[in-house]
Structure 1
Amino acid sequence: MKNTGPAERPATGPVAGGVGATSAPDEQQGTRNRVARSILDHGPSTAAELAERLELTQAAVRRHLDALVADRVVEPRAQRVYGARGRGRPAKVFALTESGRDAFDQAYDELATDAMRWIARAAGGGDPGQAAVAAFARAWVESQVERYRERVEGAAPQERAQVLAEALSEDGYAATARSAPASAGEQLCQHHCPVAHAAEQFPQLCEAETEIFSRLLGTHVQRLATIAHGDGVCTTYVPHAARSPEPPPHEPEQQQHATASESTAGRNPV
């Protein structure tokens, strides 16, 4: 079942979709949606980064950010800085709030959660119910990514994480892959998750995705951060297939992303 997430619904968003609706002209609402979508697709961002991506002035971006903050669609955070820091305070980044994310995918997330609950009840609850949920999660994730298999496995080993990220992005997960800091591996980051609440309640979804990513990429992978667990981005460490290095410190892909907690492994939403 293909994710019909926000990447395929450019006309909707936190403003036009109902959360934080305002009386601003349609053009302003559309621009605010673009600002929110850019944060959704790229993770917590500074006003300067948003201005560059959207080809707007920083002053215009800040006006829209002020409105989105007032509507509780986004929230400001202090940017994390690793290593030596220059003079002055670190730049402020803006991240989607929980209600901001819900505005993009609330119906999809609720459907996934209801389906998992029904499966658990139909199997009798308890351990049988959890086993049934796990079996469903594996089958569902595998059906989601099966169409990637030929594409990913046909790529050179060192290119597979990037190819998988591109395939995930086409399905609305806003994924990226880049070298992990100080490590012989990469970080596969999913900046968006349409079923974060379902994954929070049913970690079997995360475990299934981790297992299938590992099979597709031909190497063991490890979760470092997840949206379902409250982080700004879902991050998976992918060691180079030819080596078996220890995983890097639990640092997300970009400086502004929240550091993963120790209990994050296996909690990345599908």
Structure 2
Amino acid sequence: MPDPKELRNNGVVKYVGEAPHEDLATGERSTRNRVARSILDHGPSTVAELADRLGLTQAAVRRHLDALVGDGVAEARDRRVYGTRTRGRPAKAFALTDCGRDAFDQSYDKLAADALRWIAEREGGERAIAAFARARITAQSGAYRAAVEAAPPERRAEALAKALSADGYAATARTAPVGEQLCQHHCPVAHVAEKFPQLCEAETEFFAELLGTHVQRLATIAHGDGVCTTFIPKASPAPHTSTHTDNASASTAGRNPA
């Protein structure tokens, strides 16, 4: 199934599904996008309606619809019949699935950024954003906490990575010199976090609290890096240095060190 983010472009689908190279040369992918867009604009549509609307043969429309259904972008439904039912089976109407609608730009990122900007302006600036970010992490922390607490200490970073992956972060944990690195290869809120780094900072603070040690955010997707990378050091034998280290990590959480 295609990644919905790869399909967005100001409300126009870039491509749907995986087309062979020869299809690209003949415009198959572009036509498939037109079929999907027509369903979005006009609602559930029959093969005949799509063919008439787009100037295509019904056979061509069926071929594209088969591909869209196979990708989970569209689905066939029985069309409701109002009034007197005619003879024969009613024509199937094709509608976009939730995945198909999400393939088009719906401005969720802009809505979230606008909401946070409003909070900052009305409720106390950056401090209010930080409070919101911490509350958000707390609200979704249950699964992460359960996964980490059920794992032995040496597997906790791996357990956290698996829990994050279940939420769409595509996370991995790997051994690093004097510690481990937690890598998140995808960030569902990267565009918003670019404007509001408090989201990254709250996440970093939560990782530290959950793992029972200070952590250091080395890179973030929101900052322009390819991966969000968090360094998790081995437990320090010198507790008197922990306060200084914790404060240093929190101050740079979500931002690359200078």
Q: TM-score scaled to structure 1, two decimals? A: 0.53
1:115 Cα deviation (Å)? 2.1
Amino acid at match of 1:21: K
For 1:198 and 1:178, the matched residues in 2 are separated by: 27
Are the structure 2 counterparts of residues 219 and 130 from structure 1 closer, same or farther at C-alpha, using a change threshold of 3 Å? same
Aligned to 2:201: 207
Higher RCO (CA 8 Å, separation ≥ 6 residues)? 1
| Paired position in structure 1 for 2:120 | 120
128, 137, 141: which is aligned to 2:137? 141
Task: From the superposition, tell whether residues 238 and 108 of structure 1 become closer, same or farther in structure 2 (CA, over 3 Å).
Answer: farther
Against the structure 1 CA distance between its residues 14 and 202, is the aligned structure 2 distance closer, same or farther, given a 3 Å change threshold? Answer: closer
Residue 155 of structure 2 aligns to a residue in which SS? helix
CA contact (8 A) 2:2 2:17 kept: no
| Aligned residue in 1 for 2:150 | 154
Moved more, 107-116 or 211-220: 107-116
**Aligned AA (2:14):** A
Distance 2:203 2:119 in 1: 19
Summarize deviations over 1:3-26 as a string: whole Å, max 9, x none.
xxxxxxx4443554457726x986
TM-score, normalised relative to structure 2: 0.55
Q: Is the 8 A contact 1:158 1:241 kept in 2?
A: no
Distance 2:136 2:120 in 1: 15
Which residue in 2 is equivalent to 1:196?
Answer: 190
Residue number in structure 2 paired with 1:27: 19
Displacement after TM superposition at 1:110 (Å): 2.5
User: Quick one: distance in 1 between partners of 2:226 and 2:104?
Assistant: 16
Closer, same or farther: CA 157–16 of 1 in aligned 2, 3 Å: same
Supply the distance in 1 between the matched residues of 2:190 and 2:165 (Cα, whole angstroms).
Answer: 16
Q: Deviations over 1:178-231 (max 9, x none)?
A: 011xx1210000011121121121111111111100111111100001111111
Matched AA of 1:145:
S
Question: Is 1:241 aligned to 2:235, yes or no?
Answer: yes
Distance in 1, Cα, partners of 2:175 & 2:153: 14
**2 CA distance for matches of 1:193 and 1:104?**
19
Q: Distance in 2 between matches of 1:205 and 1:116?
A: 11
Q: How many residues align?
A: 163
For 1:15 and 1:112, the matched residues in 2 are separated by 20
Contact 2:13/2:104 (8 A) holds in 1: no
2:79 aligns to what?
Answer: none
AA at the equivalent of 2:121: R
Q: Which residue in 1 is equivalent to 2:252?
A: 265
Cα distance between partner residues in 2 of 1:229 and 1:235: 11
- Distance in 2, matches of 1:134 and 1:25, equals 39
Identify the structure with the greater helix proportion: 2
Question: In 2, are the aligned partners of 1:173 and 1:193 still within 8 Å (CA)?
Answer: yes
Partner of 1:169: 165
Q: Which runs of 5+ in 2 are unaligned?
A: 25-102, 242-250
Q: Pick closer, same or farther for the CA change 1:267–1:146 going to 2, 3 Å.
A: same
Moved runs in structure 1, 4+ residues, more than 3 A?
10-20, 24-29, 103-108, 241-244
How far does residue 151 in structure 1 lie from its aligned partner after superposition? 1.6
- The superposition leaves residues 97-122 of structure 1 with CA deviations (integer Å, 9 ceiling, x where unpaired) of xxxxxx79874432331221121122
State how 1:27-176 maps to structure 2 within 5 Å. 27-28=19-20, 107-123=107-123, 128-176=124-172
What whole-Å deviation, never above 9, does each CA across 1:105-156 have from its counterpart, x for those lacking one? 8744323312211211221xxxx22111111110001212232212212211
Percent identity, aligned pairs only, is: 59
Specify whether residues 27 and 225 from structure 1 end up closer, same or farther in structure 2 by C-alpha distance, changes over 3 A only. same
191 and 14 in structure 1: CA distance in 2 versus 1, 3 angstrom threshold: same
Deviation at 1:27, TM superposition (A): 3.3
What secondary structure does 1:193 align onto?
coil
